[in-house]
Amino acid sequence: MLTPAKRQALRSLGIWLFGLALGLALGDLLNLRLQVTPAQLAYTTRELLAVRQSSGAAPPEEVLDDERNTIEVAERNRQVVVAIGQRGQAGSSAGSGFFYAPGRIVTNQHVIDSLDEMVVTLPNGQTVPAQLLGADASLDLAALAIDPELTPAVAAFAPTSQVRVGQKAIAIGHPFNLTSSVTSGIVSAIGRQITARGEDRLAIPLVIQTDAAINPGNSGGPLLDSSGRVLGVNTMILSDTGTSHGVGFAIPADLLGRYLPELETTGRAVRPYLGISMRDLSAEDLAANPAITGIRVEEVQPGTAAQRSGLRPGDIITAINGQSIARVENLLAAVLLSHVGDTVQLTVLRGDQTLTVLVTLGAYQ
């Protein structure tokens, strides 16, 4: 049996042994710490960073290929984009525009409509007066002129026939007076038809839809593809608030190529005119003849090219110049890309007969 003195001695021995073990352990840790040099610590840090990078965190100096493409297109084409405003109102722009030729700038007609004395702010910040060469509300296009020597770069155009749904779309402009802002998205749809702002509310076909953010001040600026070519001129958005909801529209490059020279030389755009009202084929039309595609003539206006050529209400136009017509927009686009005085060949289904009708286009009055 242990006496109180022996129990006290054992307790003291246990405390001493615990202290010894603890001291040895601390000594080993201290020795290990002293053996790790600053160089080894730096090496360990590099290894940790390597692990982080291999897990997907790219170093700041690297960008993805798609990002690099957007950066290159933006940097190159910022040199062709200008801000358009009123003389004497520094720092406030009505919209955007871009150089399509030396000393020549395209924008929207609604951008310059309320301006008395126009000025453009160049990419280098210099502000210079601009002359209006021509404008057309039915196409919402305007052409301006400045000293050609001040042109830093000129935009290239992409043929509208090459535009594809899903391809990249990059917008550059001056929304809310925020200079040279860049947004990107995709081409959401092609072949849209919008209504112009002019008094006659005429249709503009071939319009490109994009989800790239378009806001007030972007109007007149370019919508670009991944090669930096102009797909079209940003012109309007669908929105309840007046700001981007991801549905923006651009007037296609083919219409720019067709009408800008005319705006330069005559000051206005003269739209070719067929002289009919028309509609897409109805379910009843297709039930009667499921194999046909085309548009139905509803009315022929008196004294027009259509009347002189012998077109009649009820005719179904299936092709123009050998190109099939599936919707009203197809025929409208083909006519709009033609010139007044051009003779077009229409393939017409009249009852059981297929006819060829030649129409010399008139001018819309």
CA of 361: how far to CAs of 193, 279, 321, 340, in Å? Answer: 21, 19, 13, 5
Any catalytic annotation for residue 110? yes
Half-sphere exposure of 139 (CA within 13 A, CB side): 32
CA-CA-CA-CA dihedral for 324, 330, 333, 337, to nearest 10:
-10
SS3 336: helix
User: What is the spatial distance between Cα 241 and Cα 42, in angstroms, rounded to a whole number?
Assistant: 55
Any catalytic annotation for residue 285? no
Any catalytic annotation for residue 161? no
Q: Which residue in the list 110, 184, 188, 225 is annotated as catalytic?
A: 110
Q: Which residue in the list 136, 140, 254, 315 is annotated as catalytic?
A: 140
Are 140 and 109 within 8 A, CB to CB? yes
Name the residue type at position 9.
A
Q: Which residue in the list 93, 96, 184, 219 is annotated as catalytic?
A: 219
CA of 169: how far to CAs of 63, 161, 204, 249, 278, in Å? Answer: 19, 15, 20, 11, 33
Which positions are catalytic? 110, 140, 219
